Structure formats: structure tokens, C-alpha cells
Structure 1
Amino acid sequence: MSDQNRLDPASLPKAWPFEEAAKLAAHVERKALPADAPALLETGYGPSGLPHIGTFGEVARTSWVRQAYTRLTGRPTRLLAFSDDMDALRKVPDNVPNGDMLRQHLGKPLSRIPDPFGTHESFAAHNNARLRSFLDGFGFEYEFASSTEYYASGRFDAALRRVLEVHDEIVAVIAPTLGPDRRATYSPVLPVHPRTGLVMQVRMDGIDPVAGTVRWTDEDGETFETPVTGGHAKMQWKADWAMRWFALGVDYEMSGKDLIDSVKLSGKICRILGGEAPAGLTYELFLDENGQKISKSKGNGISVEEWLRYAPAESLGQYMFNAPQRAKRLFFDVIPKAADEYLANVARARTQEADESAQLANPAWFIHAGRIDDRAGSPLTFAMLLNLASAANADTPDVLWRFIHRYDAAASPETCPMLARLVDHAIVYYADFVRPSKTYREPDARERAALADLAETLRGLEGEATDPDMLQNLVFEIGKRHGFEPLRSWFGCLYEVLLGQKEGPRFGIFIGLYGVAETVALIEAALLRAAAGTASVVAG
């Protein structure tokens, strides 16, 4: 990228990835890296479980910082997706087969435990393959790194010897954060038992930085001299994180709010080793529908697979882009809003070609890696499709397409691929969430009169040319004529009485899409329900 195409740091686009990119640029400048040396951004993954929505969020957000950094500085980058597959298995996950077999290998590195699925050479290899497939499915650009391979190949050897040279200083940093029992035995080094294969959390009887070994005694009283190099030992995780930053020269890594203290401790250890802690963002955690923290073990959230059942991946990107430093609810009812925010941003990007700063602040620019396809948007919102499905009680995409073709004869799955995806998702979302919760209320006397007036007025328009704005104005005028103040109470009546829900679409667009005659029939059916309910009360 030429110098004239780089952004002026003094006038950054108003988007958090550019703020993070500026932090990364300052970090790289302090390190005085050569101009052609790539900045290294890292994300971490614990392969004791399958990739989840937090994994997507961290890699997506880090990718956006990378994108902004390149646009800001013109310098190259690398993204390392690091798997901590040398960590010991501490408990058997609930969502994997052959739990009894796994239980026999508790305490061993994940990469040295048989695969309970029977498809790979180890449990870690299976989950690492799932991670790579997961990331590849979203089109992320990254390099995969295995902790086991890095330890065994000698990539960490020099850093591990350095850990031994400053062993006591590291202990002095960590010890105050531990309870009395752990403090008495703590060492950043975890040797792997040469016979049992267990990752040993034991007191060190001796440290030899010159030989690169530690001396320790197991629970049977046998003493061992273990090299810390070549995969014969690993680091406790806070020291491991710091050692990795130091060994690899990591420049940027974000982490969750629950790791704030760990980031501080690892940063201190990195400086003791002689390195500089990376720049990074502390992101907030996700909350469930009750405001409780999402937990994989509780299963109180939403999975990536579930999200993708109900909306396109781009909508998940939009959700992750929004305010990462603010806690957000992560439940099924956030999906339609995220989908429509994404569509609105794509539409907005079409008008921002002459305003680079605005375009670079648009989430769609990040979600599409700076290349927004001409067919990325949709002429109809996801909310409108859901309302159409609700009114038509649609159970197949064909039902929605019949209405869509009336609204836009040229629209098709070929010409509007995003619309086609949204239609498919809308049918599923409607069946699972909207239809079961539909509750029609009866209109009061004033509402019945207004609805009858609306039906009669619309009936007079059948066969005539109409447009959404004209229909919207018509609905407004009838609401005013019948004394609805504020007018939102009139629209609330339309949603609750006709659609059985609390919120709804811009009603003029809905009529244009659903059809004038069909809307009249919808109103008449509601009035008949109301009349039947009144008659039953009188008869009672």
C-alpha cells in the first residue's frame, strides 16, 4: 500500500477496530520492527471442547483489528490461531462419547489422549480439526499453531531456558495470588511424568538453568531430572501465556473480562522474561436471556450452529461487531435485529463510496473484508419476512416467494441470493419462535371501528395501483380519524390484533407485500374472531 493511500492516524474512522489498530501500531513502533516485518496477532483456543460462539467472536474481532491495521499502516500482519493442546484434561466434557475411556486419561496432555470419536490420532487432533474446519467455513485467514508441536519441535526451547533463569522472580509474581497450599508448591514449570504421561503439578526440588532441567519428586517418592525443552514439560497457563508472547513476539491478543487479572500477571511475567506484553482489547462476556453469564457447561446460551439455523453468518458477524466492550444478551430473540442491522449497513455502504471515512466505519466493510459484493443486500428486511410468514402462516419458502414476486417481479433466488437465504431462515425462525408465541388480542370498540374503516378503505383500492408510502399515509390518516393518540397505539393494535405479536413492520410496506385484498381478509378474520368472542360472552 502506497503512503498516500494510508490513513491519517489523527483522523481515524469512528470504529473500534481502528482504535485497536492504532494501539497495535503504537506497540509495533515501540518495538521498532522492520517495515516488512508482519505484526503478529494471536487468538487462543482450549481444545478440551468443540469450537463455540466465543471462538468465532474472538477470531472475527481479531481479524477486524488486523484489517484496520493494514488499512491504517500498510504493514503486513499474521494471525495465529493457537491451540493449547498440551494442556492436561482436567474433566470429561459432557458432549463427547466414550466418557469412561477419557476418564482413564485425566491429567494427561490433550494431544496424548485417544480420540473418543475414533476419527483422529488424539482428542486434541480431533478438536483441532474441528477448529480448522470451523474457521475455514467462515473464510478466516489464519495460521494454525499447536502447543504440542511448538513445545516438541524446540520452538519454545530458548524461552523455556529463560524461564528457568528467572524462575524465582516468576514465582514471586504469582505466589501472592494463590492460597497457602498452592503457594507452597507453586512452580511455573509442569513436567510430564516419564512413565505415566501425567502433567505433574509438583514442587521443584531443584532448578538448573545451565542444563535446562528441573528436579522433582512424584507422589511415590521417586525423584526425576526432567529437561524443560523438547516437550518434556510445559508451563502453568499464566506463565505459558507470557512465555508464548515472549517466544513468538506476539503484538496483539484480546481476551474476555474474566481474564483481566490473568492478563496483568502474564504481562508482568513477559516483562521479567525480557519481552513486552502485546496490545489488546478486553471484551465483555455474553449474557443469557435472564442476564446470567453464558456458560458452556450450563448450556444457557446459543451455539453457532443454532444461530446459523436461523440467520446468515453475516448477521452473527454484525452481532459480534457491535460494542464488544459492553455486555450483551445472546439469545434467540437478538437474531432478527442483528440480521436487519447487517442489511441496513450493507445498504448504507452503497451510499458511502464517496465518503471513505464513513465507509471504513461501516461494520459491513469489516464483515466483508473490505469487498462488499453487489448482491450482499436484500430488498426486504428479515423482520418483514417474519411478519409476512406470520400473516400467511407460511410453512415453506414457496409461500413467501409468491408474495415477494407480487412485490418485486424481478426478485428471485438467483438475482437476490441474500434474500433467498433470509427466506429460508425466516421459515425456520417463524416455526420455532414466532408461531408458538403468537397471541391475538381482541380489539376494543374504537379499534373495531378503525379496523372496519381500514378494511373498507382498502377494499376500495383493490385493483388500483398503490405504493407503500401511499398505503402508509392511508393507515396514518385512519388512525388519526379515530382519535388514536399517540399514533403508535394504533399500530400496536394492528400488530397485536392482526399478527398476534407486540411489534411489527412499517404497515404500508406490509400491505404492499402481503396484498391489499389479503390484508382486507386478515382484518375481516380478526373482526370475526372478535365478534365470536363477544357473542360467546353475551351467551354466557
Structure 2
Amino acid sequence: MSSSPLSGLEERARAARSWPFEQARNLLTHLAKSRVPDPREAHEAIALLNAGDIDGAWNRFPALNRPVVFETGYGPSGLPHMGTFGEVARTTMVRNAFRALTGDRWATRLITVSDDMDGLRKVPDGVPNPEMLAEDLGKPLTVVRDPFGTHDSFGAHNNARLRAFLDSFGFDYEFLSATEAYRSGRFDATLLTLLERFDQIQDIMLPTLGPDRRATYSPFLPISPSTGRVLQVPTLERNVSKGTIVFEDEDGTRVETPVTGGRVKLQWKPDWAMRWTALGVDYEMSGKDLIDSVKVSSRVCRALGGTPPEGFNFEMFLDEAGQKISKSKGNGLTMEEWLRYGAPESLSWYMFQSPKSAKKLHFDVIPRATDDYLQFLAAYPTQEPDKQIDNAVWHIHGGAPPETTSPATFGLLLNLVGVANAADKAALWAYFGKYLPGATAETEPLLDRLMGYALNYYEDFVRPTKVFRTPTDKEKVALLDLAERLRALPADTTDGELIQTEVYAVGKAHEFEPLRAWFGALYEVLLGQSQGPRFGSFAAIYGLEPTIRLIEDGAAGRLVGT
């Protein structure tokens, strides 16, 4: 059916099974159904799009050929956090998959909206000048004074932090301030439609509310002309022809105000629906906790004459005890904390994996996430193209992963830091200078970054938990045998596989059953932990002679208490 042959990338994208491509294909069907109103014609459009005939679909149905809009939202009452990163990262993955699926011929936009017209509900913890914020409670965040003294408002301050945050990860997005959109008139047409269909919106919203809230609820939140606060008050009168509502101000006076020009904002569920309609949003994902909210906002969107976007609900993160992460409880892992101990790529890998499954978000997931990322990156060049496109690193790096990976795992670096008692990168590079002659921070930038993360992680989490033990008689004999076998190797050996062969041979010669009990002994006696890196690789980097001394110290019990 296609009018022109598909590119290799498009062919692979059509067959790809990873979740961003599933979402991209769902979006393609959504576009046909939402932009081609006749069901029979929509079915024809879907057939053309599924066959890869984008040009044919556009020629047959010109309404299809306008940019595809992705959206994410941000509440600027606090700093950007893990959820902010996850939502933008995952949406970007779907956007990149859509580009591949359509041969990058379909224009796309990612709009990140800051809900900065919301009223400040409480004074956040840990900010300067809290008394100033307390005086501004209830006012739009873009009116609340900036306690840091760096921007025109608290909202502007946090918006700047958001943009710097997203820019640091290289995201391609358009920033939209809700305040600017309301005040500029960008939302006016949809706000007037909502005023006209006020009763329909109320019929949708009121059944979702408790009796007390239902009695005073209005989708419109007027800005008080006397105090500047965002008011949750009933709408007393509506004048559709004038585009106004009447409400009672805080001083008891009745005020008539336009619903346009930023003089009112909307309650959040109608606001969400209004944005979808006004901006023509085609795709937005959200957390599982917002499933009911998506349903309600979708009904409001339809009442406004819009089409709810395609999307899916991702699972929430859990803390170490399996409890839902809560910003107010502070029981999660912050962005700053992850980026102190792990590379941004490892965080993107964690966000990519199983977004519909609840995952623990705690410090102990960082080493595994880092090494899993490195494993996928190392595998990428050896895979067939149809496998590469489903590899997580294809999505993490927008289809262009780095050509090289780190020569050492994060787990190995952690052990090298401990055994070498390294205090800085220079100490670690001294070992790698022998293992990888000519290697420097410039030639191995990923390894250099990982060293910094490993130093931080070891000091804060590994060192306090190390417990060395003395070997059993059987283990002691095996350790001394291993030392002798390694001493028989050439002193300048850096062949990790050769060393690993000797380690295996000792374990078998001394009849460790299962063999993993031998490796467990190596880790517990020599490294003070229950698990460790591939021992041959570790010894190759640490050096043969220092490894032999370490083994002899462990066999003699001299590491206990260190």
C-alpha cells in the first residue's frame, strides 16, 4: 500500500517491541481517529499510516499533516524532582520512537507547562525568608515574592531552575508558563467555551466531589482584585455574551470579572482539560495515581470540543520499605542524590525499564542501574539493527548511543576504591594507567565520571557496611594456593581472563560446592562484603602483586577489623 519504500529505520520501528514504540504506534492510531472524524475514513487513514505511507495519508487526509504535540506538566511550588525528570525523559523516548516510526517527516513538539498561576498553598521547607512567603500565601506563584532574591517571583525562580534542570540533560522542549498563556490570551477562546458550557462542566465535576466542596465548587478561580489571591469561591452569576462571571471578593463586595486575560484560572482538572484543548495536545502520560483524574479531565476536554490525548499511566516509585514516595515525607531519592552517586544515563536507564511496574527508588539501586546500563551499552554494537532499536540505550540516547563504554564496571570501581583506599580519581587512574596504557580522563570520559560517582558512593554507603571475616581452614588453604598460582604468572599480567581461569581452577581443585561458595569466600574475606566484581578483572586492574598481598593478608586474618 505504501507509495514509496520505507527506510530501514522505519521498517525496524514498525516491528520494534519496546514500550516507546508501542506507545508511538498507539499515537499514530490516535492521530487518525482524532483528526479524521468520519470512522470509515479514519479506518482508511490508519491503514495508510500502519503501512508506512505517511505521504499518502497526508495527501488523502490533509488534516493529519500538522505537528504532533507532546506535553508534560510541572508544579513550580518546589524544585524539579525525580518525577519531573521521569515524565520528560519517558515522553522524549516516545517522541523519538514516533520520529523513527514516521521517518522523522512528521513535525513534533514537546511542551513543558509550568502551572505557575496556582496559588501558593503553604510555605515550602528549607527556603529563606519564610515569613515573606507566609505573607503571600494564596497568591499566584508568579506574584509571590522570590525568597531567594534572584528573580521577579518565586514562580520565576523555580521556572528558571526547571529550565536549567531540563537543559542540563539536553532535552528538546518548549517551555510554557501558564501565567503567560492565561494573560496573553492564548487560552481565551477555550475559557469562553467553558463559560458557555458551564453547566455541562459542572455536571461532570460535581459528582466527583464531596458534599461540602460540591456546594461551593466552580471551575473558575478568580484572582481577587483587592488581595491578589487565587480564590476558591462560588460563581454567583455568568454573562456569556460579555464573557464575565460574578463572585464575592474577600472583603464581601460582589465583583464582575472577565474570564479572559489572566483574571481567572481554572481548577486543576478543568485546567488540564483546557490545556489539552487549547494547545491541541496529542500525547501526555501521567502517574497511576491520576487515572481517575485523567478520566474526569478527558470528559471535560470533550465537553469543550477537544479530543483527550493519547497516553499511558506509569507506576509510582517506592521507598526502601515499599511505601509510595512522597515529597512531603521526604522518603524518596532526590535528583541531586542520584546524580551524586550515579550518571544521568543510569537514571534514564532506570526510567526506561518497566514503567508500568512499581520499582524501589533507593540508594542501593544505583550501582545495579549503572552496571546494567553499561552492559546494554557494551552489547549495542554487536547486535543486529532490529535488536539495537529495542535496546534501552537506543532510547536513552535518541537513537545514537556512544560508540564506547567504560572498561570497568561500577561494582569493580567500588571495590578498587576500597581495596586501594583511594581518596581521589588520581589514585584510581594510577591503576588504570598500567591496565590501559595511555588511557586518560580525556580518552575515557565515561570511566572518569564513574570514578567520581564510585568515590562518593563508597564513602557514604559501602565503607560503613564493610565487615571482613577470617577464612575457614579450607578457605585459607585455597587462598594461599591462589596466591601461589598468581605468583607463577608473569608479573606484568593484565589479562583478566587468565587470572579468572586460575581463580576457577582453585575453586574446583579445593572442591567448593557449589562453586559460588568459593567466590563468596573471596568477597567476604578479601573485600568485606557478600558480593563483588569479576575477580579476574579486579585483579588485572588492581595489579597482580597487590592482589597477591591482599590474598595473603586475608588468609592470615589481617583484614578483619580494618
TM-score range, shorter chain: over 0.9
- 1:277-288 alignment runs, 5 A limit: 277-288=308-319
- 1:130-279 alignment runs, 5 A limit: 130-279=161-310
Which residue of the partner structure matches residue 373 of structure 1? 402
Counterparts of 2:132 and 2:436 in 1: how far apart (Å)? 58
Larger CA deviation: 25-34 vs 290-299: 25-34
Larger CA deviation: 1-10 vs 243-252: 1-10
The answer to whether 1:526 aligns with 2:554 is yes
Contact 2:494 2:543 in 1 (8 A): no
Q: Deviations over 1:354-399 (max 9, x none)?
A: x322111111112222222334x11111111111112212112122
TM-score, normalised via structure 2 length: 0.91
Which residue of the partner structure matches residue 496 of structure 1? 524
Q: Return the match for 1:404 from 432, 435, 448.
A: 432
Q: How big is the shift at 1:500?
A: 0.4
Counterparts of 1:466 and 1:100 in 2: how far apart (Å)? 62
Contact 1:35 1:75 in 2 (8 A): no
Describe the SS at the equivalent of 1:489.
helix
Q: Deviations over 1:498-522 (max 9, x none)?
A: 0001110111212222222111111
Counterparts of 2:559 and 2:544 in 1: how far apart (Å)? 23
The answer to whether 1:63 aligns with 2:66 is no
Counterparts of 1:442 and 1:13 in 2: how far apart (Å)? 52
What amino acid is aligned across from residue 337 of structure 1 in structure 2?
R
What amino acid is aligned across from residue 155 of structure 1 in structure 2?
R
What amino acid is aligned across from residue 14 of structure 1 in structure 2?
R
Which residue of the partner structure matches residue 413 of structure 1? 441
Describe the SS at the equivalent of 1:164.
helix
The answer to whether 1:448 aligns with 2:476 is yes
Q: Deviations over 1:443-462 (max 9, x none)?
A: 11211121122122222225
Q: Deviations over 1:87-118 (max 9, x none)?
A: 01111100211111101111111111111111
What amino acid is aligned across from residue 149 of structure 1 in structure 2?
E
Counterparts of 2:515 and 2:85 in 1: how far apart (Å)? 42
Describe the SS at the equivalent of 2:423.
coil
Contact 1:212 1:227 in 2 (8 A): yes
| Change in 2 beyond 3 A, CA 1:506/1:166 | same
The answer to whether 1:18 aligns with 2:21 is yes
Counterparts of 1:425 and 1:219 in 2: how far apart (Å)? 53
Contact 2:243 2:259 in 1 (8 A): yes
Q: Deviations over 1:326-363 (max 9, x none)?
A: 111111111111111221122112123xx322111111
What amino acid is aligned across from residue 17 of structure 1 in structure 2?
P
Counterparts of 2:292 and 2:477 in 1: how far apart (Å)? 63
Counterparts of 2:246 and 2:139 in 1: how far apart (Å)? 20
The answer to whether 1:335 aligns with 2:366 is yes
Which residue of the partner structure matches residue 40 of structure 2? none
The answer to whether 1:357 aligns with 2:360 is no
| Change in 2 beyond 3 A, CA 1:68/1:532 | closer
Which residue of the partner structure matches residue 121 of structure 1? 152
Q: How big is the shift at 1:133?
A: 0.8
Describe the SS at the equivalent of 1:119.
coil
Give the length in aligned residue pairs.
530
Which residue of the partner structure matches residue 33 of structure 2? 30
Q: How big is the shift at 1:311?
A: 2.0
Counterparts of 1:473 and 1:196 in 2: how far apart (Å)? 77
The answer to whether 1:511 aligns with 2:553 is no
Larger CA deviation: 278-287 vs 445-454: 445-454
Q: How big is the shift at 1:11?
A: 4.1
Q: Return the match for 1:39 from 65, 68, 75.
A: 68
Counterparts of 2:493 and 2:542 in 1: how far apart (Å)? 14
Which residue of the partner structure matches residue 97 of structure 1? 128
Describe the SS at the equivalent of 1:216.
strand
Larger CA deviation: 458-467 vs 65-74: 458-467
Counterparts of 2:178 and 2:280 in 1: how far apart (Å)? 15
Q: Return the match for 1:304 from 335, 348, 363.
A: 335
Contact 1:160 1:243 in 2 (8 A): yes
Q: How big is the shift at 1:265?
A: 0.4
Contact 1:314 1:367 in 2 (8 A): yes
Larger CA deviation: 81-90 vs 215-224: 215-224
Counterparts of 1:219 and 1:113 in 2: how far apart (Å)? 18
TM-score, normalised via structure 1 length: 0.94
Q: Deviations over 1:395-438 (max 9, x none)?
A: 12122112212221132112111111111221221111111111
Describe the SS at the equivalent of 1:78.
strand
| Change in 2 beyond 3 A, CA 1:358/1:9 | closer
Which residue of the partner structure matches residue 7 of structure 1? 10
Q: CA RMSD in A?
A: 1.9
Q: Return the match for 1:293 from 324, 330, 333.
A: 324
Which residue of the partner structure matches residue 59 of structure 2? none
What amino acid is aligned across from residue 437 of structure 1 in structure 2?
T
Contact 1:9 1:22 in 2 (8 A): no
Larger CA deviation: 115-124 vs 434-443: 434-443
Describe the SS at the equivalent of 1:210.
coil
Counterparts of 2:13 and 2:230 in 1: how far apart (Å)? 50
Q: Deviations over 1:56-101 (max 9, x none)?
A: 1111111111100011013110000100000011111002111111
Counterparts of 1:10 and 1:388 in 2: how far apart (Å)? 41
Which residue of the partner structure matches residue 538 of structure 1? none
Q: How big is the shift at 1:125?
A: 0.6
Counterparts of 2:71 and 2:494 in 1: how far apart (Å)? 55
Which residue of the partner structure matches residue 137 of structure 2? 106
Counterparts of 1:323 and 1:470 in 2: how far apart (Å)? 37
What amino acid is aligned across from residue 82 of structure 2 in structure 1?
I
Describe the SS at the equivalent of 2:121.
coil
Q: How big is the shift at 1:35?
A: 5.0
What amino acid is aligned across from residue 58 of structure 1 in structure 2?
E
Q: What are structure 2's unaligned runs of at least 5 residues?
A: 36-61
Which residue of the partner structure matches residue 481 of structure 1? 509
Which residue of the partner structure matches residue 76 of structure 1? 107
Q: Deviations over 1:111-146 (max 9, x none)?
A: 111111111111101100111111111111110001
| Change in 2 beyond 3 A, CA 1:264/1:67 | same
Q: What are structure 1's unaligned runs of at least 5 residues?
A: 534-540
| Identity percentage of aligned residues | 56
What amino acid is aligned across from residue 246 of structure 2 in structure 1?
R
Counterparts of 1:385 and 1:44 in 2: how far apart (Å)? 38
Which residue of the partner structure matches residue 41 of structure 2? none
Counterparts of 1:385 and 1:26 in 2: how far apart (Å)? 47
